């Protein structure tokens, strides 16, 4: 979009995309990306004046299925159905939040707090003026991000698709916590545009006790426990069973047999 939030002419956009793809092919950079970050974060959610298709719709024709941009700069952000994300002609658009470093910052170790569901950064943010010290900056990012995986309220996704699916579950999947079980309801998730890869969900459970978990109408594909001072943080990776709109995770104290 331009600075007034109006999308540029369709023909101009198509030409830019064509030449972008040609450059990737010429430089053997792989296939056309399936994700998109708007240049200078100038983007409009939905159709704009004089257009019968949105930018997301044009990108969808080239198999782009994910847009990442800060909503505070996005025109039409109020149209996003779920606050921090929405579907624009079937393409999920996620609020990037504010980057912790400027796009032109180089040689800096990140600090502060993330303020959105993703951690945005640009290539200069990974570099040092002395190339031999690039690893110091990369390690700085690792040390900055790693603690987010050890918090009850956050986790690090293994890839972009896993992130999007977990974000959807975080916002739309409903949990009811009881004394010995957790009920999980997928009704709101199933109302969203269909995605066959949205069957994985990760939940975290905090307890002072050693717990044993079991599942009804869902599979526990992986679990781990992290001891943090006097509490234990359990991370459960769950796989939905197709057709089930709800599930239950049962838990009990290790050595206690009543379920």
Specify burial of residue 46 (Cβ count, 10 A radius: 0-12, 13-18, 19+).
buried
Per-residue pLDDT reduced to its tens digit, 121-178: 999 999 999 999 999 999 999 999 999 999 999 999 999 999 999 999 999 999 999 9
Name residue 218's beta-bridge partners: 240
Please, what's the b/e burial string for 124-145 (b: 16 or more CB within 10 A of its CB; e: otherwise)?
ebebbeeeeeeeebeebbeebe
The SS3 assignment for 142 reads: helix
Phi first, then psi, for residue 73 (nearest 5°) are -105, -5
What is the rounded CA–CA span in Å between residue 162 and residue 74? 24
What is the rounded CA–CA span in Å between residue 248 and residue 161? 25
pLDDT for 256: 53
What is the rounded CA–CA span in Å between residue 74 and residue 41? 7
Per-residue pLDDT reduced to its tens digit, 205-254: 999 999 999 999 999 999 999 999 999 999 999 999 988 999 999 999 98
Instruction: Let me know: does 155 contact 134? Beta carbons within 8 Å.
Output: no
Per-residue pLDDT reduced to its tens digit, 31-73: 999 999 999 999 999 999 889 999 999 999 999 999 999 999 9
Structure token pair of residue 134: 């690039």
Mean pLDDT computed over every residue of the chain: 94
What is the rounded CA–CA span in Å between residue 22 and residue 202? 39
- Between β-strands 66-69 and 35-36, what pairing exists: parallel, antiparallel or unpaired? parallel
What is the rounded CA–CA span in Å between residue 158 and residue 232? 22
Q: Read off the pTM.
A: 0.91
* Higher pLDDT, residue 39 or 204: 204
pLDDT for 259: 41
Phi first, then psi, for residue 77 (nearest 5°) are -60, -25
Structure token pair of residue 163: 């992130």
> How many residues are recorded in the chain?
259
pLDDT for 1: 80
Average pLDDT over residues 195-214: 92
């Amino acid at each position: 979009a331009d600075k007034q939030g109006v999308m540029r002419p369709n023909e101009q956009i198509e030409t830019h995309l064509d030449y972008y793809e040609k450059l990737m092919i010429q430089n053997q950079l792989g296939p056309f990306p399936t994700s998109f970050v708007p240049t200078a974060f100038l983007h409009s959610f939905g159709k704009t004046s004089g257009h019968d298709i949105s930018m997301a719709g044009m990108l969808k024709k080239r198999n782009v299925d994910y847009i990442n941009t800060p909503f505070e700069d996005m025109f039409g952000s109020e149209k996003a159905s779920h606050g921090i994300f929405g579907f624009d002609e079937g393409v999920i658009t996620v609020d990037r939040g504010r980057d912790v470093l400027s796009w032109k910052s180089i040689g800096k170790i990140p600090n502060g707090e993330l303020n959105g569901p993703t951690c945005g950064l640009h290539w200069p943010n990974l570099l040092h003026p002395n190339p031999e010290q690039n690893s110091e900056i990369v390690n700085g990012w690792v040390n900055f991000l790693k603690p987010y995986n050890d918090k009850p309220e956050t986790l690090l996704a293994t890839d972009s698709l896993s992130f999007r699916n977990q974000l959807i579950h975080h916002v739309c999947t409903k949990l009811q916590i009881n004394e010995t079980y957790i009920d999980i309801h997928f009704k709101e998730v199933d109302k969203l545009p269909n995605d066959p890869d949205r069957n994985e969900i990760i939940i975290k459970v905090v307890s002072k006790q050693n717990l044993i978990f079991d599942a009804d109408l869902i599979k526990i594909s992986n679990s781990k426990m992290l001891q943090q001072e006097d509490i234990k943080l359990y991370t459960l990776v769950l796989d939905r069973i197709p057709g089930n709109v709800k599930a239950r995770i049962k838990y009990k104290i290790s050595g206690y047999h009543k379920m």
